[in-house]
Structures are given as C-alpha cells and as structure tokens.
A and B are shown apart, each in its own frame.
Chain A
C-alpha cells in the first residue's frame, strides 16, 4: 500500500476517529431525514422519527427514513467492498465502479429483466451477484495478461474499458423499452430514491453475509499486504483467503447494485481517506470504511436532493463528481514504466 509510512496510528487516535466517524454518520442520517425537496420543520422531523406521519410534512420526512437506511447500507457495503478489493488485489485503484464490477451486475439485471422476464427481487440479487462475479473475473484476467501481471494502471484500464462496454450494452437493451426506461434509469446511473423497507428487507440477508465474510477476512488481508510469499510463510492459505475475501466483496457489490444501481467511486475514495486517518491495519480499516462509506453516500444523497430542488440528482451522479478527481489524483501518484 502506498501509505506504508503510516502503519498504525496510536490506539487513542483511532478510538477518537471512530467516535468522530460514528457522530458524523448520525449527523448525516439526521440531515438526510430533515432535508429534501420539501422543507420540513424540525418538530415534524422529530415526530416522523418517532413514527408519526399525520401531516404532509411528517409524511414527507417519514418517507425519507427508508431512503436514509438504504443509503447507509449501500454506502457501507461499497466502502467495505472497495477496501477489501484494494487489499485483495494490492491495488490502490481497485473500486467496484472502476473495475467494472457494478456495471457488470447492472448489465446482468437489465438483460435478465428484458429477455428472461425476471421479476422477483431475490432473482435480481442473484443475477446481479452473478454478473458482478463474472465481470470481476473477466477484468482481472484481462488486466493481468502480459508482462508484470495485474499492475494498478493495467487493471484500472481493463476495468474502465469493460465498464464502457457494459454501459453501452445496458443502454442498447434499455432504450427500445420506452415504457420502462423510467424504472431502468436506476440501473444506468444509480440512485436510492425508490427505497422502501420491503425492498431493503429482501437485500438485507445478502448484505449481512457479505459484511460478515469481509470483516472476518481482515486479519488475513493484513498478512496478504506483506506479499504472497510472506503471507504463506505466516500460515495463510493465500489462494483461499483471496478467493473468500473477493467473494465477500462481490456479494456486497452485487447486492447493492441490485437495489441501487451502479454507484461508482465510493469504494475508491473511502478506504484511502480511512487509511490517512487510522492507518493500514485492516481490522480497523474495514469497519471504518463501512462507517465512512455509509456517511459519504448518505451525504451525497442529501446534496443531490438539495442542489436541484425541486428535482433530485441521482446519487450516482454526485459520487462521480466527488470521486473522479480523487481517482485522477491517485493515478497521478502511480509510477508508470515509460513508453
């Protein structure tokens, strides 16, 4: 990892940042219920949080609660998946969006809905995970061809190209189905607008499994960071560890794309920010990335609702605007073999 200088922060610093992260998450969650296209008084926000939806304002605020929960869950999943992917591939540019994994999940769902009449929510999730897994394997294979194996820039380029290819296929499948383009828009840009507790409930078991697998692989990822030989010497079964952790992140990406569409750059920005704050120990980094990912996506959603009132800007647009400059910053720091 590039920030190897900061191996660990003192425990006191990390605990402090953890408290800050929890506080930030709580604050953006409250903001997400309070702010939106309709202005709602604070008293109504508190009433809505308590379960009341008598007045129009209270109902509006109450509708934002599932949306907030979804944003936190999806953001957390993407942040965590990004951190795990960066650990597994030892690649600072790894991100479910950059590597084309989210777009692969999107394409799988769109194709299944359009050609195979898929309608069940569980079907969406399984299909999305299949698409995510296939594209992850594909991109990694393409990126590791040739000299030097899967270097960060080769992998990112393979991912970006695959992503572009999938995106144009998604468009081609969606476009003739004009009656449903509205509902398909989700799988092209990414958004959390249509959330309800029913839909969250359907995706929750998958997210839970993904969270558990990823968080349990923290110690193994620490060993992997030392290099494959050293990790094997420490008694890790490198291939198994890598496959398990990758599976966990693919489950998270598939499940979040199934419910919120392809959202890029969260998994890229968050782990890097976390590494700056608390160091590279995965046992801290992974949960911290999940926390901060939830905050980032929720904040992006609030921004998207506030800047364009009364219209809403999908959260995928906001994260791209925030995340792409960061992507460029990391690309610039990479060493490249001269032509």
Chain B
C-alpha cells in the first residue's frame, strides 16, 4: 500500500544499475508484507472462530456459523450469540484499535516507548470513562466524548510539558509516566468512591477486561474503528515521511502540522472509543508495533500488520486468561504480564546500544 519514500531519479539515470536493485527490493518487501498481512488475517480469523467454539461448553463449527448468520440454535444461540460473539468482536476491534493507534504514535515520535499506554493517554481516556460510567452514570455517547476529550487533553498536556527547546524522547516518556501515575490514582480514587470497592470493576479501568461485554459497548468502538482507521491509513505515506524528520518530510511535500494533528486526533479517538468499551488493555498498543516490525521487516508501513497483531494478542490473551490458567484473569492482566518484561528488555537493549532513548 505504501512504499518507502524514495526520490524519483531523473529520467536520464534510469539505466543506472541501482534503480532495478531498488525496485527489486521494493517488490520483495511489498510481497513479504502482503504475505504477513494475509497470514495474520487468517490467524485472527482462526482465533476468532476458536474463541467462539471453545469454552465451558464446546459447540461444533457449523452451529457457530449458523448462530453468526442469525439462525436460532438451542443453547448455542445464547452462549455463542449473546456471550461469546460480542466479546470476540470487541477483542478484535479493540485489539486492532490499540495496535493501530500504538504504532502510529511510535512511528510519529520515533520511539517504541512512546505508545499511548506508556505515556498516559490510555490512562486519561480510562479515567474519564471510569468517572463518566461509575460516578456520573452517563450513556455511551457521553462516555465516549468525555474519553476522547480526556485523551486529547492528556496528549496535549504531555506534549506541552515535555516541550523545552524541542521535545526529547526520554523526557516525554517520563513525563507521560508521571501523568499516568496520577491518572491511575484518580481511577483508584473513583473506584474507592463507588459504593463498594469492586475489584473486578477497578481492574477493568486499570488494566482492561472484556468480562460481560455487550453489543451496546461494542458498537461505538466498531464504528470508530471503521471511520478512523481509513483516516490513519491514508496518512501512512506522510507518516513514514515524518519518520525521516520534520525538515525532510516538509521537503518531500508533506504538510507536517496538518498530518500531525490529523494523525493524533484519529489515533486518540481510536484509543478513547476502545478504552471506554473495555478499559486500556495493558501494553497492547505498546507491544503490537515492535512485534509487527519484527515480522514484516523494515521499509514498509506497519499500520495494518500492527493492528492485526493487536487483534491477535487480545484474542489469544483473553482466551488464555479465561480458560487456560485455572482461574479467570481479565485480559489486561495477561497482556500486562507479557508486556511488562518486554518493556524492561527494551530499556536494557537501548541502554546497551548506547542510545539515549
């Protein structure tokens, strides 16, 4: 879909030997990317079907298919149609949203640590959603609006506070971590204000959970994904230009400020809608990008692969947390245990390499 930005050589140089080499490399990378995207999509579909079929009771494949297409099947209609289907759909939608938004931030800020769940944007959306739902008992639309406003506000705040003769990665990340610490204690405060300290509900807003998902929660997140992901995908070429630095991007004809604002609003929107449905599923936004980069290889856009990796992560983590561990863990705890050591590993690797992060 998007190729790396390579300046077109003057016509006279077309015969030079580097051009076919560049073209061959480009074709090779593009075909590898297509293969990866296809494989990931198949895996997501498989995970989706598996999480519909298996559980406390197992339903055969054709029962599941009939339920999905709206037929009434005794027993399966309730378990699969009302319990498992919205849950699995939300897993795919939220995972894709987190993965896509995460890799967008990581690409734009050129730092794998600068994902929305590390720098406090997810916590902001989550705190707003928790306040709106638990304290103010607002409806779906108002919750989403508040979550987006809070997410954008936090993004702006972190960026503003980190700005001092330009924005430096480490400072932005540490400030984000500080803001996230505050917002998490706001969430804990809201939960302690609620009539009874409800541990499960608190877990949802702190680490993310798909427990008790209903279609009313799925719908706004799905609509947001349908509207906002095309916006991000059309910006993917500009985004890879921005990765080369602002000046280079501007020289290549990218409207830097407009791209940046569009991208931030769309990515924060994705995070906010998904978060108001299931909480900030820990580290999915942070993990998806680097995993996708490892599989796809350099030089191509990571947006779609990262989204698919996110979906797959949430599906697998939710299934594991529900059935594989003896007790039922919310999905965010599973992804948190997976993601946190990777965060430490990433810091060790960067420090070793002598970078300043």
B137 within 8 A of A: no
Bound-complex Cα distance A339 to B172 (A): 12
A146 and B193 form a contact (CB under 8 A): no
Bound-complex Cα distance A327 to B59 (A): 53
B203 within 8 A of A: yes
**In the complex, residue of chain A having the shortest beta-carbon distance to the beta carbon of B168:** A336
B171 and A153 form a contact (CB under 8 A): yes
Q: Which residues of A contact B21 (CB under 8 A)?
A: none
A146 and B337 form a contact (CB under 8 A): no
Bound-complex Cα distance A145 to B356 (A): 11
B354 and A147 form a contact (CB under 8 A): yes
Q: Which residues of B contact A332 (CB under 8 A)?
A: 161-162, 164, 171, 175
B170 and A169 form a contact (CB under 8 A): no
Render A310-339 as a binary contact track against B, CB cut-off 8 A, 1 for contact: 011110111011001101100110101111
User: Considering the complex, which residues of chain B in the window 155-207 have a beta carbon less than 8 Å from any beta carbon of chain A?
Assistant: 161-162, 164, 166, 168-171, 173-175, 177-179, 181-182, 184-186, 188-189, 192-193, 197, 199, 203, 207
A164 within 8 A of B: yes
| Contact A165 B356, CB 8 Å, known A146-B351, A320-B182, A328-B175 | no
A168 and B199 form a contact (CB under 8 A): no
**In the complex, residue of chain A having the shortest beta-carbon distance to the beta carbon of B117:** A164
Cβ-neighbour of A176 out of B166, B326, B334 (below 8 A): B326
**In the complex, residue of chain B having the shortest beta-carbon distance to the beta carbon of A171:** B333
Render B328-357 as a binary contact track against A, CB cut-off 8 A, 1 for contact: 111001101101110110111011111111
A87 within 8 A of B: no
A142 within 8 A of B: yes
Chain A interface size, under 10 / 10 to 19 / 20 to 34 / 35 or more: 35 or more
User: Considering the complex, which residues of chain B in the window 53-102 have a beta carbon less than 8 Å from any beta carbon of chain A?
Assistant: none
A175 and B329 form a contact (CB under 8 A): yes
**In the complex, residue of chain B having the shortest beta-carbon distance to the beta carbon of A189:** B188
A320 and B354 form a contact (CB under 8 A): no
Q: Which residues of B contact A337 (CB under 8 A)?
A: 356
B185 and A164 form a contact (CB under 8 A): no
Cβ-neighbour of A321 out of B186, B325, B334, B357 (below 8 A): B186
Shortest CB-to-CB span from B245 to chain A, Å, is 10
Cβ-neighbour of B182 out of A145, A185, A312, A321 (below 8 A): A321
Render A281-324 as a binary contact track against B, CB cut-off 8 A, 1 for contact: 00000000000000000000000000010011110111011001
B340 and A145 form a contact (CB under 8 A): no
Q: Is the interface of A mostly helix, strand, loop or mixed?
A: helix
Q: Which residues of A contact B344 (CB under 8 A)?
A: 142, 158, 161-162, 165
List 11 A-B pairs, Cβ < 8 Å: A145-B352, A153-B171, A158-B351, A161-B343, A168-B207, A168-B282, A168-B333, A169-B340, A181-B199, A314-B188, A331-B174
Instruction: Give chain B's interface residues, CB within 8 Å of chain A.
Output: 110, 113, 161-162, 164, 166, 168-171, 173-175, 177-179, 181-182, 184-186, 188-189, 192-193, 197, 199, 203, 207, 282, 325-330, 333-334, 336-337, 339-341, 343-344, 346-348, 350-357
Among all A-B residue pairs, the 5 with the closest Cβ atoms: A168-B336, A176-B327, A165-B340, A145-B351, A146-B351
Instruction: Give chain A's interface residues, CB within 8 Å of chain B.
Output: 142-143, 145-148, 153-154, 156-158, 160-162, 164-169, 171-172, 175-176, 178, 181, 185, 189, 264, 308, 311-314, 316-318, 320-321, 324-325, 327-328, 331-332, 334, 336-339
